[in-house]
């Protein structure tokens, strides 16, 4: 059985009133990508059971339209993000009003050398850099591996 790790960020202040798409764009400008082998993995509208869908990268505007609609409906938004140069990815879950953001290290999980322990430091360093740039005030961080 493979391990899975998650990092949850509680956000208590979004002073620039960032929306999810602008945050996704900030991740992409910081070395992450939503494009894995010309496919985007995301949670569709009205999803209630984590039924991830896949769309070709050429349908990016359709995916973005669904994300905008999910945000209006205050639905959980999920999208896969990949660190461009190292093929490490996360399933990113953006809760309504960006009150909570969870990153699940389930896509080619980075581990500490010669162990099966997730390199949480790598994830924290690379994710916090973007959240700080977005001026999100982090109330708490919760890390878990199982």
- Whether pLDDT at 1 is above 70: no
d(CA 7, CA 104): 6
Query: What does the pLDDT read at residue 116?
Result: 94
High-pLDDT (> 70) share of the chain, %: 98
Q: What is the rounded average pLDDT of the residues 49-55?
A: 97
In 10 A of CB 125, how many CB atoms?
Answer: 10
Query: What does the pLDDT read at residue 84?
Result: 87
Q: For residue 14, what pLDDT band results from cuts at 50, 70 and 90?
A: confident
Query: What does the pLDDT read at residue 17?
Result: 78
| pTM exceeds 0.85, yes or no | yes
The number of distinct structural domains making up the chain is: 1
- Whether pLDDT at 16 is above 90: no
Q: What are 36's two structure tokens? A: 């894995």
Domain range for 35 is 5-145
């Amino acid at each position: 059985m493979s391990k899975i790790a998650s990092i949850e960020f509680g956000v208590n202040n979004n002073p620039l009133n960032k929306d999810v798409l602008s945050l996704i764009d900030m991740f992409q400008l910081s070395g992450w990508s939503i494009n894995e082998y010309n496919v985007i993995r995301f949670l569709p509208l009205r999803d209630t059971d984590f039924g991830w869908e896949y769309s070709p990268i050429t349908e990016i505007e359709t995916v973005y339209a669904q994300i905008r609609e999910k945000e209006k409906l205050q639905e959980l938004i999920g999208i896969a993000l990949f660190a461009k140069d190292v093929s490490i990815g996360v399933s990113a879950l953006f809760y309504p009003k960006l009150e909570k953001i969870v990153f699940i290290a389930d896509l080619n999980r980075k581990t500490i050398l010669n162990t099966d322990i997730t390199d949480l430091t790598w994830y924290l360093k690379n994710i916090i850099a973007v959240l700080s740039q977005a001026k999100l005030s982090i109330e708490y961080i919760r890390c878990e591996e199982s």
